[in-house]
Amino acid sequence: MPSPRQHLTITDTDGKNKEVDEITTKNLIIELLTNRDWKKRAFVVIELGKRKEKEVPEALMHCIEKDRNLEVVRNAIIAFENITGYERADVFKYEPIKSWWIEHANEVNIKLKDSK
């Protein structure tokens, strides 16, 4: 996984290579859900964890449930915690996160900005 000090360029939907902080949240979510490179997905979820915006928690939950790489899942859980305030009981169990999100989604989303 790239360290926080490293930078990563990603090809944005316009076909240009961009630094991660130049890419919209919506395009980062697309990158998370479609990129086959687990190292890039692991880095993208770290970046998403810094973006307290709507649609991010749901994308992270999808990643937690579906991604097959444990490093990506771990980073997604940490990012989900950073954005939502969720406190995990178990690092790799999806169901407690899903149950918590169903109960708290409205109150968390009120605090989040709209995604760009």
For the segment 39-62, what is each residue's pLDDT rounded down to a tens digit?
999 999 999 999 999 999 999 999
63 three-state secondary structure = helix
For the segment 97-112, what is each residue's pLDDT rounded down to a tens digit?
889 999 999 999 999 9
Contact by Cβ (8 Å): 112, 52: yes
For the segment 68-96, what is each residue's pLDDT rounded down to a tens digit?
999 999 999 999 999 999 987 766 678 88
Q: For residue 39, give the nearest of 6, 88, 81 by alpha carbon.
A: 6
For the segment 4-18, what is each residue's pLDDT rounded down to a tens digit?
445 667 776 778 888
> Which residue's entry shows tokens 């899942």?
73
Domain ranges of the chain: 9-111
User: What distance lies between CA 10 and its chain's CA centroid?
Assistant: 15
Query: Residue 5 has what pLDDT?
Result: 43
38-73 as b/e, with b when 16 or more CB fall inside 10 Å?
eebbbbbbbbbbebbbebbbebbbebbeebebeebb
